Amino acid sequence: IRSRYSLLPYIYTGFYDASISGIPLMRPLWSEYPNDKKTYDIEDEYLLGSSLLVKPISQPGQTSTSVYFPNDSKGWYDIVSLNFYGNVGNIVNVEAPLSKIPVYQRAGSIIPRKERARRSSTQMENDPYTLIIALDSEQQAYGELYYDDGISFDYKESKNNHRYFRFKNNQILSGSIDGKNNFMESSVLIERIVILGLTKPISTATIAQQGFEFSTNIISSTSENGEPVYTIKKPNTLAAYDWRIDLQ
C-alpha cells in the first residue's frame, strides 16, 4: 500500500494522459512494444503507464517468479533494490518474497513520487516530491508530472500544472508543457532526486531557479548489485516553476 501511495503523482499523471489520449493507464506489453511478438502471448504481466512494468504474484506460497523484459526496451530497474536488468528480450528469474511485488522502472524514464507515509492521499497534498531518474544507454531520461487541486473541475479553466523533466548531458531541466496559459500556484518542493545508471561519477549539483543559484554535494551509494546510485538531497526546487540542475 505504501508503494502504491508513493506512486500517486505518477499514477495521477497517467490518468490525465488517459483522459486526453484514450490509452488506459494499465495496458498490455504489446501496446508499447508491438514489434516484439513475444509480448502478444504474455497475460501475467502488464504496464502501468509507459514507465512501469508489473509482474503480479498470484500463487500462494510463491517466493520467486519469471519476468519477461520487452525486446525493444532499453532495460529496467527494480524499484526496490534499484538493480538494473539490461537483458531485454529474455525471461529472467527474480525473487518475489511476500513483502514485494516485482515492479520495474523503464530505462530512459523519470518518475515523480511522494515518499512520506500518510494515512490518506489528501494528507499528501503539500508533501514534497522525489524524482527517480532511470537513465538509458544514451544517458538520457524523460518524464512528466501533472497535478491540479484534485477535487474540482477548475483544471478545465487552466488551473493545473503539466511539467516535464529531462536528463541530458549531465543536466536536469524542468519546464512547462502547456505554456503560461495553464498554471496553478504551488509551494510544493522537490526534496530529493535519485539518479540510476550514470556511467561517470559526479559529486556536485548546481541548482538554478528564478534567478537564484547554489551548489550542493551529491551523495553516492550503490544498488543491491553494487551499481552506482547518486542522490541529490534537498535541491528544494519548486515543482511548479522552471529550474535547471547541472551535475559535475
- Give per-residue pLDDT as tens, 12-38: 999 999 999 999 999 999 999 999 999
What pLDDT, on the 0 to 100 scale, is given for residue 181?
67
pTM for this prediction: 0.94
Query: Measured between alpha carbons, how far is 6 from 129 in angstroms, rounded to an integer?
Result: 9
What pLDDT, on the 0 to 100 scale, is given for residue 175?
93
Indicate the range of 9-13, 117-121, 244-248 predicted with least confidence. 117-121
**Residue 225 burial (CB < 10 Å; 0-12/13-18/19+)?**
exposed
What tens digit of pLDDT does each residue of 56-100 get?
Answer: 998 888 899 999 999 999 999 999 999 999 999 999 999 999 889
What tens digit of pLDDT does each residue of 183-234 get?
Answer: 888 889 999 999 999 999 999 999 999 889 999 999 999 999 999 999 999 9
Mean of pLDDT values over 144-162? 87
Query: Measured between alpha carbons, how far is 214 from 195 in angstroms, rounded to an integer?
Result: 19
Query: Measured between alpha carbons, how far is 25 from 12 in angstroms, rounded to an integer?
Result: 10
Mean of pLDDT values over 91-110? 94
Residue 213 pairs in a beta bridge with 208
Query: Measured between alpha carbons, how far is 54 from 162 in angstroms, rounded to an integer?
Result: 25
CB atoms within 10 A of CB 116: 13
Grid cell of 186 as nine digits: 504551488
Determine contact, residues 169/231, Cβ cutoff 8 Å.
no
CB atoms within 10 A of CB 176: 16
Query: Measured between alpha carbons, how far is 78 from 123 in angstroms, rounded to an integer?
Result: 28
- Using H for helix, E for strand and C for coil, what is the string for the chain? CHHHHHCHHHHHHHHHHHHHHCCCCEECHHHHCCCCHHHHHCCCCEEECCCEEECCCCCCCCCEEEEECCCCCCCEEECCCCCEECCCCCEEEEECCCCCCCEEEECCEEEEECCCCCCCHHHHCCCCEEEEEECCCCCCEEEEEEECCCCCCHHHHCCCEEEEEEEECCEEEEEECCHHHCCCCCCCEEEEEEEECCCCCCCEEEEEECCEEEEEECEEEECCCCCEEEEEEEEEEECCCCEEEEEC
- Nearest Cα to Cα of residue 2 among 89, 115, 101: 115
Residue 112 pairs in a beta bridge with 131
More confident residue, 158 or 145: 145
